[in-house]
C-alpha cells in the first residue's frame, strides 16, 4: 500500500512536471532568442525620412511618407484588401436589458458583403438614450464565451478545440458560455460609460489555412485567381476588414458614438487591431494587447517569435511576400514602429506582459517609443517614458505603454488602463 501510494506520488509528480513543461514550452518555445545580450545590431528606418533620403518637415510631408510606409506594409506584410463592396446589411437584431437594468445587450446579424459571411455582433451598452463611446474587439472563441447571458447565441462556425470551453470537433457548445468572461469585464466597461462591441473572429475568416476558400477571402476573391496573389490579403487583413464593416454597422446605431470607437485586440487580434487602425482612420484609438511578432514588437530584434517562425506556424496570417523576410529581418524595409505610426495622430496603447517573452515586451516598448517622432510632429507629444518601465507602471498619453506583471493574457488590470486611455479622447 505504502509502495503504491509512493509510486502514485511519483507518477503524479512526473505528470505534473510534464504538464508544467508543456505549458512553459507553449508559452515560450525553445530554440529562440530570449537573451537581451544576444540581440543583433539592427538599423530601423526613420519614420520621418523618405526612402529617397528626403526628410519630412511638416504634417503634409508626413501624409506622403505615411502613404509610402502604408504601401510597403500592404504589399510586403499584411497584403492588400479589396475595397468596400457596398453597404453592409443587417438581417436580424434583438435586445435584452441586463445587469439589473444598467445595460442593454443587443445582437445584430451582419452580412459583410454580398454572398459573404454573416457575423453576429454583440453590443453591450449602458442603458439610456445617450450616444456612448465604445470598445470594439474581436474574440477568440465565440460571443457566448464573453458574457454568461443565456440569450447570446453560440457560434455555429469553425472554432479551435478547447475542452474547457466545450469546443470539440471544431464546434462550440453551451459549455463555453461565459468561459472567457475574465477577459471582458463587462460591468466595469459599462460603469465607465462605454459600450463593448465584439464578434467572433472566426465568423469573419476561420483561423486555419484552407487556401483562402472560406470566410471573407472566399467571398471576395482579390483578383482573377481564387488564391490571393503574393501581395494580397492574408487573414489578419481579412479580420481587420471585418472590423471596418462592423464599424460601418455601428455608424447606424442610435445609442453609440461611432466617432469614438477604440479598436482593441489581444495577441493575433492585437496585430489585427493595429492593422485595422492603420487601414481605417475612423477608429478613434487603437489598443494592442500582447500582440508580439507582426504586431507591436520590432521584427529586427528577432527576440522571441521570429518572422520565419510565424510564417511557418501561421502561413495564412500574412501575405506571401512576407515569407521573403524569413531569417532576413534586416532586409525588411519597414518595422513595427512604423505600423504604430500609421495610426498617428490618433492615440495608440501598446501593452505587454512580463512573462510573455515570446511577444518580446521590450521590442513592443521600443516600437512604441520609436513611433514618437511622428506623434511629436503632429501633436507635440510622444511616449512619455524614455526607459523600459518596471512592471505595472503605465504611461498613458497619446502614445501609451505598460508592461503588466504576468503572462500572455487580457486582464482586468489591462482594461483599467485602457479605460483611462480612452477617457482622454472619448469623454
**Residue numbers at the binding site for ligand GTR (CB under 6 A):** 267-268, 292-293, 305, 310, 313
Please state the closest distance from residue 174 (CB atom) to ligand GTR, in A.
24
Buried b vs exposed e over 155-174: b needs ≥16 C-beta within 10 Å?
bebbbeebeebbbeeeebee
Closer Cβ to ligand GTR, 156 or 313, answer by number: 313
User: Is residue 408 flagged as an active site residue?
Assistant: yes
267 vs 288 by CB, closer to ligand GTR: 267
Helix H or strand E encompassing 18: helix 2-27
144, 337, 402, 408: the catalytic one is 408
H or E stretch including 17?
helix 2-27
CB of 268 to ligand GTR, least distance (A): 3
Catalytic residue of the set 81, 267, 372, 400: 267
How many residues are there in the chain?
A: 427
CB-facing half-sphere around the CA of 17: CA atoms within 13 A: 6
286: exposed, middle or buried (Cβ count in 10 Å: 0-12, 13-18, 19+): buried
CB 249 within 8 A of CB 121: yes
**124 Cβ contact partners less than 8 Å away, ≥ 6 residues apart:** 98, 103, 104, 105, 106, 147, 186, 189, 190, 195, 196, 197
Output 249 or 293, the one with its CB closest to ligand GTR. Answer: 293
Q: Shortest gap between Cβ of 299 and ligand GTR (angstroms)?
A: 12
With the CA atoms of 196, 201, 203 and 205 taken in that order, what torsion angle do they form, in degrees rounded to the nearest 10?
A: 150
We find the least distance from the C-beta atom of residue 123 to ligand GTR, in angstroms, to be 24
Angle between helix 235-250 and 268-279 (nearest 10): 60
Residue number with CB closer to ligand GTR (305 or 414): 305
CB of 194 or CB of 233, closer to ligand GTR: 233
Q: How far apart are CA 70 and CA 76, in angstroms?
A: 10
Contact 322, 260 (CB under 8 A): no
Residue 47 or residue 363: which is nearer to ligand GTR going by CB?
363
Taking the complex as a whole, the smallest distance from the CB of residue 275 to ligand GTR amounts, in Å, to 13
Q: Give, in order, the Cα–Cα distances in Å from 107 to each of 94, 113, 119, 226, 320.
A: 5, 18, 10, 32, 36
| Burial of 422 per CB tally in 10 Å (0-12, 13-18, 19+) | buried
DSSP 228: P
3-state secondary structure of 395: strand
DSSP state of 255: T
Q: How far is the CB of 397 from ligand GTR (least distance, A)?
A: 26
Q: Minimum distance from CB of 277 to ligand GTR (Å)?
A: 17
Nearer to ligand GTR, 313 or 330 (CB): 313
What does the alpha-carbon distance between residue 18 and residue 340 come to, in Å, rounded to a whole number?
Answer: 39
Active site residues: 267, 408
Amino acid at each position: 500500500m505504502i509502495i503504491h501510494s509512493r509510486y502514485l506520488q511519483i507518477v503524479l509528480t512526473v505528470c505534473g512536471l510534464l504538464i508544467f513543461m508543456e505549458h512553459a514550452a507553449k508559452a515560450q518555445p525553445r530554440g529562440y532568442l530570449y537573451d537581451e545580450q544576444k540581440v543583433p545590431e539592427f538599423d530601423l528606418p526613420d519614420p520621418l525620412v523618405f526612402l529617397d533620403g528626403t526628410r519630412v518637415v511638416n504634417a503634409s510631408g508626413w501624409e506622403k511618407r505615411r502613404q509610402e510606409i502604408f504601401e510597403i506594409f500592404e504589399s510586403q506584410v499584411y497584403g492588400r484588401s479589396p475595397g468596400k463592396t457596398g453597404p453592409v446589411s443587417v438581417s436580424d437584431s434583438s435586445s435584452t436589458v441586463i445587469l439589473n437594468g444598467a445595460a442593454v445587450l443587443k445582437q445584430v446579424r451582419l452580412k459583410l458583403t454580398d454572398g459573404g459571411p454573416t457575423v453576429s455582433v454583440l453590443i453591450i451598452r449602458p442603458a439610456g438614450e445617450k450616444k456612448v463611446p465604445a470598445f470594439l474587439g474581436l474574440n477568440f472563441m465565440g460571443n457566448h464565451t464573453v458574457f454568461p447571458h443565456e440569450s447570446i447565441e453560440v457560434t455555429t462556425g469553425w472554432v479551435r478545440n478547447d475542452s474547457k470551453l466545450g469546443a470539440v470537433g471544431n464546434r462550440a457548445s453551451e459549455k463555453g458560455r461565459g468561459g472567457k468572461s475574465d477577459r471582458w469585464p463587462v460591468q466595469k466597461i459599462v460603469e465607465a460609460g462605454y459600450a463593448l462591441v465584439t464578434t467572433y473572429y472566426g465568423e469573419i475568416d476561420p483561423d486555419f489555412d484552407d487556401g483562402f476558400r472560406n470566410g471573407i477571402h472566399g467571398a471576395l476573391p482579390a483578383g482573377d485567381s481564387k488564391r490571393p496573389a503574393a501581395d494580397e490579403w492574408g487573414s489578419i487583413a481579412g479580420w481587420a476588414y471585418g472590423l471596418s464593416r462592423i464599424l460601418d454597422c455601428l455608424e447606424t446605431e442610435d445609442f453609440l458614438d461611432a466617432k469614438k470607437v477604440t479598436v482593441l485586440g489581444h495577441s493575433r487580434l492585437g496585430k489585427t487591431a493595429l492593422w485595422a487602425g492603420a487601414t481605417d482612420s475612423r477608429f478613434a484609438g487603437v489598443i494592442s494587447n500582447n500582440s508580439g511578432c507582426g504586431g507591436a514588437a520590432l521584427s529586427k530584434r528577432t527576440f522571441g517569435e521570429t518572422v520565419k517562425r510565424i510564417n511557418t506556424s501561421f502561413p495564412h496570417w500574412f501575405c506571401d511576400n512576407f515569407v521573403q523576410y524569413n531569417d532576413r529581418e534586416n532586409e525588411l524595409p519597414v518595422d513595427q514602429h512604423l505600423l504604430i505610426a500609421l495610426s498617428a495622430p490618433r492615440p495608440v496603447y501598446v501593452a505587454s506582459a512580463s512573462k510573455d517573452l515570446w511577444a518580446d515586451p521590450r521590442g513592443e516598448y521600443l516600437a512604441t517609443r520609436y513611433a514618437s517622432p511622428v506623434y511629436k510632429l503632429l501633436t507635440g507629444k510622444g511616449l512619455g517614458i524614455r526607459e523600459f518601465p518596471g512592471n505595472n507602471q503605465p504611461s498613458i498619453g497619446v502614445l501609451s505603454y505598460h508592461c503588466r506583471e504576468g503572462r500572455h493574457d487580457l486582464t482586468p488590470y489591462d482594461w483599467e488602463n485602457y479605460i483611462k486611455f480612452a477617457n482622454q479622447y472619448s469623454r
